[in-house]
Amino acid sequence: MPKVRVVCAHDCPDMCSLLAEVEDGRVVRIQGDPDEAYTAGFACAKVNRDMETLHSPDRLRTPMRRTGPKGSGQFAPITWDAALDEITARWKAIIAEDGPLGILGYAYSAHQGHMNRRLPAGLFHALGTTRLMAGTVCDTCCETAWDMTLGPVGGTDPQSVVHSDLVIAWGCDLMAVNVHFWTLLEKVRATGVKLVVIDPRRSQTAARADWHLPIRIGTDAALACGIAHILLRDGKIDRDYVAANTLGFDRWATEVLPGFAPERVARITGLSVDDVERLAAMYGAAKRSLIRLGEGMTRLAKGGQALRAVATLPALTGAYGREGGGALLLAAGSMDFQFGVVAKPSGPASARMVNHLALGEALEEMRDPPIRALFIAANNPAVTNPDVNRLRRALSREELFTVVHDPFMTDTARYADIVLPATTYLETEDFYRSYGSYRMQWGPAAVPPQHEARSNFHLAQDLGRRMGLTDAVFSMAPKEIMPLFFKGATGIIADVDPARVFEGPVKVAPPAAQEFRTPSGKLEIYSEALAQQGVPPMPVWEEDPIEAADATRWPLRLLTAPGYFQAHTAYAASPFLRKREGAPCAIVHPEEAARRNLAEGQAVRLFNDRGEVGLVLKISDEVQPGVVLVPGQRPDGEAVSGTVNMLCDTRLTDMGEGACYQSTFLDVAAWEKAA
């Protein structure tokens, strides 16, 4: 049976090389590529089932036009020509009346390679429309905090973990989001290297670790400052490394660290003094410790400080200077591809911006001109954005002309005037580079587009040409564009020959010692850029006043974490995976359940000032008292009622204007009482 070597496009740091077995035009099996080292011959439990999503009977087959009220999901099929004619006629009319700023292109990155995710952005860039500040729903807080500390550069190569002597998964559930790193780590652990997990939840990763520290949500900066305090107290700082490679250590040591004695750190974090001491001793003794940083701990008001404090630690012991040592958040920063070729083909240097997470506000409040046309692709904000009640109200505006491009009729697509059927990655060719490792690969299509689906790339080209754009990328083939990504590239990809990428997986490696690309060229414990923004310039833990006030009004805090068998809403069409993940649920500690007289498996109401949702209750000591864990974000129809982001507001993080899902406070009660 023919096997096509494709690349997994899901938003996942592993970027597996996959073999898709094709029979009679259908993918019948997907497995990991045994010839690509990092993939190591296996795909995760989700992607093993991707043929179900690809060939799902629920796929959108043709373009459709709305026939009922917005949100009702009533549509009738139309032809592609009719759809494209109507879209371009509406856009041209808006441009003639209000200028291009009356249009918002809201295309995200999920589940595609760089051609398909970036050309829709390029279309709107070239048209000069209002632009999306993308990714604030995801990683802009942690990424900005990292850049403010180390500069725009990737972290430790995960494949160098074979040289590490201690691994800390700090707020990262490897078993959910980084399974191939986990596999490599298991081999290293077999040689005696210890794994420590710092996570409010006893995740599957934490349950398998040598040591789990169940830290209180939002207190990681205090723990990191506490470790630094003890390292300083005990003479465990690598003074030479710090002097040569960091900026501001002495001020941090005299102005901030004295406030983080172990007793205070224990009170803030909910850990014991002994645990804080033991962790610092372990960390101080290791030479090549590797911290795998998760994003979860930054999705709250002071998330940037948390990331900066933790990312500073490997400088204190000199681990950043040694192979296998350091920290890994993302790798992408070191692979300097010229993606602007597709993302910014032409168009004004700057334009009005909309923060990804604040779409509802933008639709309701922007004036001069208001947003009259919205194009959404590869994104399901009616479920995944914070404050989705407001967003859905805004999407219901009758005079807003909304187009949604997706393989499925999502909760967002229900609000569209025109829905367009999208391909999945298995139906389109693309260029992929991992964001969690130093690898790149070309992926061909395994099968042709299903039904009448068109890829994001194809659609952006169709729309670009109809809108009169003449940039070459609107008529070039992906294979012609790919080599341009390498033109003028610097650093570790400068020597890669694009022809090699067409042939198979390519691995590059960052220098063994961590680079810093900050203004000072050093790891900036003191950041002048932050000082100028009025943000504390040195890593510190401070209580957030709004969170503190909310905590006095509501007894529980929301913990959100990725699902093991779902990634956001993208696998919702696989009945097998839906079943494996189980019904959308809320997990509380037995004490919290007992206090409210709630039983395992019953329907409960989660509520606060912003709204309520209905979920199935699970009772488990995997979380601490005071917390309610809601894994994933699930479509409306799957839950008892609603979706968790109805409870979250659109506050911004301290750095990078990111989402604060975990700054959400609430209570839980029996569902019946609500009625």
Q: Residues in the site for ligand SF4, rule: CB under 6 A? A: 8, 10, 12, 14-16, 43-44, 46-47, 179-180
Q: If binding is defined by CB under 6 A, does position 539 make contact with ligand MGD? A: no
The three-class DSSP label of residue 475 is: coil
Amino acid at 376: I
CA 113 – CA 479 distance, rounded (Å): 13
Site for ligand MGD in 200-239 (CB under 6 A): 200-201, 203, 215, 217-218, 220
Q: Which two tokens stand for residue 52?
A: 């179900």
Question: How many other CB atoms sit within 10 Å of the CB of residue 600?
Answer: 11
Q: Which of 342, 567, 585, 660 binds ligand MGD (CB under 6 A)?
A: 567
Q: What is the identity of the amino acid at 298?
A: T
Label residues 322-348 b or e (16+ Cβ within 10 Å = b).
bebbbbbbbbbbbbbbebebbbebebe
Sheet holding 439-443, edge to edge: 430-433, 439-443, 506-507
Count of CB atoms within 10 A of residue 28's CB?
12
The binding track of 642-661 with respect to ligand MGD, each residue x by CB under 6 A or -, is --xx--x------------x
Q: Which does 304 bind (CB under 5 to 8 A by kind): Mo ion, ligand MGD, ligand SF4, none?
A: none
- Asked if 567 is part of the footprint of Mo ion (rule: CB under 5 A), the reply reads no
User: φ and ψ at 30, to 5 degrees?
Assistant: -130, 130
Residue 674: partners with Cβ closer than 8 Å, 6 or more residues away: 605, 607, 612, 614
For residues 126 to 145, the per-residue mask of contacts with Mo ion, x marking binding by CB under 5 A and - elsewhere, is ------------x-------
Question: CA-to-CA distance for 365 and 352, rounded, in angstroms?
Answer: 13
Q: At its nearest, how many Å lie between ligand SF4 and the CB of residue 561?
A: 16
Contact 633, 643 (CB under 8 A): yes
| Residue closest to 662 by CA, chosen among 639, 644, 638 | 644
Site for ligand MGD, residues 309 to 368, rule: CB under 6 A: none
Q: How far is the CB of 450 from Mo ion (least distance, A)?
A: 26
- If the CB atoms of residues 358 and 668 are measured against Mo ion, the closer one turns out to be 358
Which CB, 30 or 138, lies closer to Mo ion? 138
Nearest distance in Å: CB 120, ligand MGD: 8
Q: Counting Cβ atoms within 10 Å, is residue 152 exposed (0-12), middle (13-18) or buried (19+)?
A: middle
- CA 639 to CA 643: how far, in whole Å? 7
Map the footprint of ligand MGD across residues 452-471, applying CB under 6 A. 456
Instruction: Tell me whether residue 180 or residue 557 sits nearer to ligand SF4 (CB atom).
Output: 180
43 binds, among ligand SF4, ligand MGD, Mo ion, none (CB under 5 to 8 A by kind): ligand SF4
CA 261 – CA 281 distance, rounded (Å): 14
Q: Is the peptide bond before 407 cis (omega within 30 degrees of 0)?
A: no
Please tell me the distance from the alpha carbon of residue 115 to that of residue 430, in angstroms, as a whole number: 6
Q: Quick count: other Cβ atoms within 10 Å of Cβ 60?
A: 24
What is the Cα–Cα distance from 512 to 436, expressed in whole angstroms? 16
Query: What x-and-dash track marks residues 399-438 binding ligand MGD by CB under 6 A?
Result: ------xxxx-x-----------xxxx-------------
Residue 39 Cβ, how far from ligand SF4 at the closest point, in Å?
Answer: 7
Instruction: Provide the token pair at 236.
Output: 């465990």
Rounded to whole angstroms, the Cα distance separating 186 from 173 reads 14
**CA-CA distance, 118 to 526, in Å (whole number)?**
35
Q: Looking at beta carbons only, is 530 or 572 nearer to ligand MGD?
A: 572
Please state, in angstroms and rounded to a whole number, the distance separating the CA atoms of residues 261 and 257: 8
Q: Which does 577 bind (CB under 5 to 8 A by kind): ligand SF4, Mo ion, ligand MGD, none?
A: none
114 binds ligand MGD (CB under 6 A): no
Tell me how far apart the alpha carbons of residues 521 and 544 are, in angstroms, rounded to a whole number: 31
Residue 278: which of 318, 226, 204 has the closest Cα? 226
Closer residue to ligand MGD, CB minimum distance, 131 or 299:
299
Per DSSP, helices labelled H in 256-300 are 262-269, 273-285
- Say whether residue 544 binds ligand MGD (CB under 6 A): no
Phi then psi for 31, rounded to 5 degrees? Answer: -140, 165
- Compose the 268-297 pattern: x for residues touching ligand MGD by CB under 6 A, - for all others: --------------------------xxxx
Contact range with ligand MGD by CB under 6 A, out of 198-206, 245-253, 442-450, 494-502: 198-206
Q: Are strands 353-355 and 373-377 parallel, antiparallel or unpaired?
A: unpaired
As measured in angstroms, the least distance from the Cβ of 314 to Mo ion is 24
Q: Quick one: 15 or 310, whose CB is closer to ligand SF4?
A: 15
Asked if 172 interacts with Mo ion (CB under 5 A), we say no
Contact region with ligand MGD (CB under 6 A), list: 98-106, 266-274, 314-322, 559-567: 559-567
Measured CA to CA, the distance from residue 20 to residue 26 in angstroms comes to: 10
Residue 47 interaction partner, one of ligand SF4, Mo ion, ligand MGD, none, beta carbon < 5-8 Å per kind: ligand SF4
Does the protein bind Mo ion through residue 630 (CB under 5 A)? no
- Binding-site residue total for ligand MGD (CB under 6 A)? 63
Q: Considering the rule CB under 6 A, would residue 177 count as an interface residue with ligand MGD?
A: yes
126-145: which residues touch ligand MGD (CB under 6 A)? 137-139
Which residues, including other chains, have CB under 8 Å from residue 254's CB and lie 6 or more apart?
none
Residue 562 CB, nearest distance to ligand MGD (Å)?
Answer: 3
Nearer to ligand MGD, 101 or 559 (CB): 559
Q: Which stretch binds ligand MGD (CB under 6 A): 374-382, 478-486, 503-511, 580-588?
A: 374-382
Give 541 or 565: the residue with its C-beta nearer to ligand SF4.
Answer: 565
SS3 category, 128: coil
User: Among Mo ion, ligand MGD, ligand SF4, none, what does residue 215 contact (CB within 5–8 Å per kind)?
Assistant: ligand MGD
Give the nearest distance from C-beta 70 to ligand MGD in angstroms. 18
User: Among 131, 229, 568, 651, which residue interacts with ligand MGD (rule: CB under 6 A)?
Assistant: 568
Select 247 or 268, whichever has its Cβ closest to ligand MGD: 268
The string of DSSP letters for 466-493 reads HTT---GGGTS-HHHHGGGGGTT--GGG
The Cα 246–Cα 105 span in angstroms is: 41
Among 379, 514, 518, 608, binds ligand MGD (CB under 6 A): 379
8 makes contact, choosing from ligand SF4, Mo ion, ligand MGD, none, with CB < 5 to 8 Å by partner type, with ligand SF4
CB of 562 to Mo ion, least distance (A): 9
Q: Where are the beta strands (DSSP E) in 99-205?
A: 103-107, 131-133, 166-170, 194-198
Q: Look at residue 297 and give the partner it binds from ligand SF4, ligand MGD, Mo ion, none, a contact being a CB closer than 5 to 8 Å depending on partner kind.
A: ligand MGD
The verdict on 30 binding Mo ion (CB under 5 A) reads no
Residue 334 binding partner per list ligand MGD, Mo ion, ligand SF4, none, with a CB distance cut-off of 5 to 8 Å that depends on partner kind:
none
Using DSSP bridges, classify how beta strands 26-32 and 64-66 pair: parallel, antiparallel or unpaired.
Answer: unpaired
> Which class for 444: exposed (0-12), middle (13-18), buried (19 or more C-beta within 10 A)?
middle
- Positions that interact with Mo ion (CB under 5 A): 138
- Positions that interact with ligand MGD (CB under 6 A): 11-12, 108, 110-112, 116, 137-139, 170-173, 176-177, 198-201, 203, 215, 217-218, 220, 294-297, 299, 377-381, 384, 405-408, 410, 422-425, 456, 559-564, 567-570, 632-633, 644-645, 648, 661-662
